[in-house]
Amino acid sequence: MTRKQRLQAAERLAAERILVLDGAMGTEIQRLKLTEEDYRGQRFADWAKPLQGNNDVLNLSRPDAVIKVHRAYFEAGADIVETNTFSATRIAQADYQMEDIAAEIASEGARLAREAADQVAEETGSPRFVAGAIGPTNRTLSISPDVEDPGFRAVSFDEVRETYAEQIEAMAPHVDFFLIETIFDTLNAKAAIKALIDLRASGAIEADIPVMLSGTITDASGRTLSGQTTEAFWNSVRHARPWAVGLNCALGGKELRQYVQEMSRVADTRVLAYPNAGLPNAMGEYDETPQETAGWIAGWARDGLVNIVGGCCGTTPEHIAAIAKAAAEGTPRTIPERPRAMRLSGLEPFELAS
């Protein structure tokens, strides 16, 4: 199938049922118990910096492991897998002195996900989709890293936009969607959105590749790290005309529900949500069982709050299998038509009706 045909299939399926996104790439990689030598492979055997923990470099050193994870999620019931490219930017790869191969990491990550999706689609006769994962980087544009200098920024907007543009262009030949995710700073997301708009306008990538956006409510305050409420976040990114918008990470299904419900109320596009497997324990691990996680998502599906569901930190193929079963028992959310109004946002939303 061509990308256009796959997108048409995704549109059709999304109208019929709740779509299923995959679970945590990092969790599955941890379960593989890979060593420093696995991360290095032959190509990076003499690399000056330790590489264990740089999951994205496995696209080059252990592509078999990456494909194995993608296939496990597809076989569990996922319609969409995310590329193993959460940190495949120059900014994030600088920690490993791999800035100059960040684009290669991104390109190969997208190609591997496409390969797995096409394999499973051929085997099952049903289309499978690839979302190019674009993480927030390890820099923030809205908050100073120096408490004694609130005006200081470790990176500029243009630098973030340029690093995202490189990642997006590298992934574009292989993906069906872009997914700008785990957005803790909306200004970072705006840099990614601007990069995408510029690449479309210049013809560097095909203009019909849709984008999905997923913010992160960091704690019980109900706000992103940069301070926005759910509705304010939506007002800030709505101009991107996303194929879907939603929330992921930081919280489990129990805690995330009220914010998913708020996004469902305000967003005039599809809503996606993929929570962690509960809250982390004292050791930073996740104890929520597949049935428990799926139980929360079943409530969202039953109440018509979501169009796409999946899992974030701590979730496994077993979680996704349970989530897929729960999603199948619900119906996709009806996208509302909201009355025309001027909607702005700072940390809080502002609406001026006509």
Which CATH number is 273's domain given? 3.20.20.330
Q: Is the pTM of this model over 0.75?
A: yes
pLDDT at 220: 85
DSSP 232: H
Q: Which residues are annotated as a binding site?
A: 249, 312-313
pLDDT in tens, 163-213: 999 999 999 999 999 999 999 999 999 999 999 999 999 999 999 999 999
Which residues contact residue 186 at a Cβ distance below 8 angstroms, ignoring those fewer than 6 apart? 142, 215, 224, 226, 228, 233, 236, 237
* CA–CA dist 109, 131 (Å, integer): 11
* CA–CA dist 225, 127 (Å, integer): 36
Mean of pLDDT values over 258-272: 98
Structure tokens at 2: 């061509």
pLDDT at 168: 98
Share of the chain above pLDDT 70, in %: 100
pLDDT at 353: 82
The backbone torsions φ and ψ at residue 315, rounded to the nearest 5 degrees and listed phi first, read -90, 150
Residue at 117: amino acid letter: A
pLDDT at 354: 72
pLDDT at 79: 98
Nearest Cα residue to 263 out of 184, 194, 196, 336: 336
Mean of pLDDT values over 277-286: 92
pLDDT at 157: 98
Classified as helix, coil or strand, 209 is: coil
Average pLDDT of the chain, as a whole number:
97
Identify whether the C-beta of residue 351 lies closer than 8 Å to the C-beta of residue 343: yes
Mean of pLDDT values over 79-83: 98
Residue at 241: amino acid letter: R
Mean of pLDDT values over 281-297: 95
Classified as helix, coil or strand, 341 is: strand
Structure tokens at 237: 């990114």
Number of domains the chain is built from: 1
Mean of pLDDT values over 243-272: 97
pLDDT in tens, 89-143: 999 999 999 999 999 999 999 999 999 999 999 999 999 999 999 999 999 999 9
Q: How far apart are the first and last CA of the chain?
A: 45
Q: Which residues are annotated as a binding site for Zn(2+)?
A: 249, 312-313
Share of the chain above pLDDT 90, in %: 96
Cα angle, residue 159 at apex, residues 153 and 162 outer, rounded to 5°: 155
What residue numbers bound the domain in which 50 lies?
Answer: 3-353
pLDDT at 219: 85
